[in-house]
Amino acid sequence: MKTPEFHINTNGHGAAFAEYRHLVRKKWLAMAGIIAVFAAAAIGSLASGASGVGLADLIPAILNPGHPAHGIVVSLRLPRVAMAVLTGSGLAFSGVVFQAILRNPLASPYTLGMGSAAGFGAVLPIIFLPAAFARDLWIAGGAFAFTMISAVVILAVTRLKNAGSETMILCGIALMFLFSSLTSFFQYMGAMEQVSEIVFWFFGSLSKAGWNEIALAAVMVLGPFPLILRLAPDFNLILTGDDAAKGLGVNVPRLRMEAVILASLATAGSICFTGVIGFVGLVAPHIARMLLGADHRFLLPASALCGAALVLIADTLGRTVWAPQVIPLGIVTAFTGVPFFFYLLMRRKEMM
């Protein structure tokens, strides 16, 4: 039946297509809305801060190196916004990927133990290299290395046992507990000032990242993105089950492997310079999914933008609502994300 010749009531066929086209148009509209919110969040973040440089001064301050606010906007606010975008988008689209390949709405980079692993990787240099050269890089490197180690362990277990999503989730939870307890152990060993450093690392902060760190994070976050986006149709297929996806031509084990490697890389890039910023990787995918559905060709870019906007808004609020004190980012992301998430949950009951 290569060229099926259905004898059909043609008006019906047109109707389905038209309805679907209408739906796709609505998705583009939602996407435009997300982009607008993202842009507003970015500009808002650029235009707020302790020095009082506002919206009006923004453009001249960026363009004119002689402007008094040039240093503030270009050296302090721009890198902050850049890091927020990278972290938020990286965590969000890795969250989408993990939720898809595990077919589990509760999945996120942290459900797979990566946050705990990264934290442990950061704790090691804090405890053992208290006065080392380039200590911050050691901390970031430790976080990166252990994120990837957790990914490799999960992949190895799933390959060895030829196992599916449940095994991966259980494996991730096991890793989470392992690394959490290891962190607690080293925290227990640590002196007071080291314990405080560990606690603050787990809060997350965008202040630590300069342009060099941002460049590295950009490679790790933006590099995998097109490769992940290329797999979007396969993520759609895997939602209806491994067997169905295989029947539709997807090499499921390979897809899982590629997805885990790419998403872990993006996760590592997102958190190694900023610390554990919880919740974004879990909630941004859901927000995007509620706004424009589960088609990953839309969902991946949309949730990346949602995640970026969420972190931007959280950081701006964290810097302004209780100024001059800063509310740590990891706390504000949850504060801002949860109510919005609840609102959407109430509005769209059919979700999940």
Partner 1 sequence: MNLMNPEKHVCQTFQKFGPRQGRRRQSKIVFFLPILLIMVVFSQPAFAGNRITVTDALGRQVQVGLPVRTVGAMNSDALEILRALDAGDMVSCVFAEIVRERAFWGKLADRPKLGSWREADFEAIAKIKPDLVIAYERNPGPELEKRLNPLGIQVIRLNFYKIKTLNREIRDLGRILGREKQAAELCGWYDRQLGRVAGRLKTAKHRPSVYIESYSDYHSTGPSSGADEMCALAGGRNLAGNFSIPYPEVSPEWVVSQNPRIIVKAASWANGYEKSGADHLGRVRDKIMARPAFPGIAAVKSGRVMVMDSSVWTGPRAVVGILYLARLFHPDLFGDIDPEKVHRDYIELFQKVPYGGVFAVEGVKR
Partner 2 sequence: MTLSIENLTFGYNGRAVLTGIGFTLAPGEIVTVAGPNGTGKSSLLKCVTRINPVRSGRITLHGKDTRGMKRTDLARHLGYVPQNTHSRFPMTVFDTVLMGRRPHMGWRPSRNDMDTVSRILSELGLADLAVTDFERLSGGQKQKVLLARALAQEADFLILDEPTSSLDLKHQVEVMELVRKLADRHNVGVFMAMHDLNLAARFSDRVLLLHRGKVHGLGKPWDVIHEGSIKDVYGVDAVIAEAGGTRFVIPYPGDRNGGPV
- Taking CB under 8 A as the criterion, the residue among 35, 44, 246, 257 binding partner 2 is 246
Q: Is 11 in the site for partner 1 (CB under 8 A)?
A: no
x-or-dash string of contact with partner 1, 113-142, rule CB under 8 A: ---x--x------x---xx-x--x------
Q: How far apart are CA 329 and CA 271, in angstroms?
A: 12
Q: Is 29 in the site for partner 2 (CB under 8 A)?
A: no
Minimal CA–CA distance to 255: which of 91, 107, 98, 104? 98
Q: Considering the rule CB under 8 A, would residue 9 count as an interface residue with partner 2?
A: yes
Residue 336 and residue 138: Cα distance in Å, rounded?
31
For partner 2, the closer CB: 210 or 241 = 241
* C-alpha distance across the termini of the chain, in Å: 36
10 Å Cβ neighbour count for 70? 17
Q: How far is CA 323 from CA 4, 15, 208, in A?
A: 67, 56, 19
Binding mask 236-275 for partner 1 (x = CB under 8 A): ----------------------------------------
Q: Is 66 in the site for partner 1 (CB under 8 A)?
A: no
Specify the residue, 212 or 240, whose C-beta has the smaller distance to partner 2. 240
Query: Residue 65 touches which of partner 2, partner 1, none (CB < 5 to 8 A by kind)?
Result: none
Kindly identify the residues of this chain, within the stretch 100-159, that bind partner 2 according to CB under 8 A.
Answer: 100, 103-105
Question: Is position 14 an interface residue for partner 2 (rule: CB under 8 A)?
Answer: yes
Using CA atoms, how far apart are residues 215 and 225, in angstroms rounded to an integer?
Answer: 15
Q: How far apart are the C-alpha atoms of 15 and 60, rounded to whole Å?
A: 52
How big is the site for partner 2, counted in residues (CB under 8 A)?
Answer: 47
Calpha distance 70→74 (Å, rounded)? 6
> In which residue are the tokens 């958190």 written?
271
In angstroms, what is the minimal distance from the CB of 60 to partner 1? Answer: 17
Per-residue string for binding with partner 1, 175-204, x by CB under 8 A?
-----x--xx--xxx-xxxxxxx-xxxxx-
The interface region with partner 2, picked from 59-67, 135-143, 293-301, 325-333 by CB under 8 A, is 293-301
Least separation in angstroms between residue 193's CB and partner 1 is 4
Q: How many residues bind partner 1 (CB under 8 A)?
A: 51
Residue 266: partners with Cβ closer than 8 Å, 6 or more residues away: 90, 91, 93, 94, 220, 221, 224, 225, 228
Q: What are phi and psi of 187, to 5 degrees?
A: -65, -40
Least Cα distance to 241 among 165, 141, 137, 147 occurs for 165
**CA separation (Å) from 65 to 48, 49, 54, 71, 210?**
19, 19, 17, 8, 19
Residue 50 binding partner 1, by CB under 8 A:
yes
Handedness of CA 137, 88, 212, 262 (dihedral sign): positive
Binding site for partner 1 (CB under 8 A): 49-52, 71-72, 75-77, 79-80, 116, 119, 126, 130-131, 133, 136, 180, 183-184, 187-189, 191-197, 199-203, 205, 207-208, 210-211, 276, 319, 322-328, 330
Binding site for partner 2 (CB under 8 A): 1-2, 4, 6, 8-10, 12-17, 19-20, 22-23, 99-100, 103-105, 230, 232-234, 236-237, 239-241, 243-244, 246-251, 289, 293-295, 297, 350-352
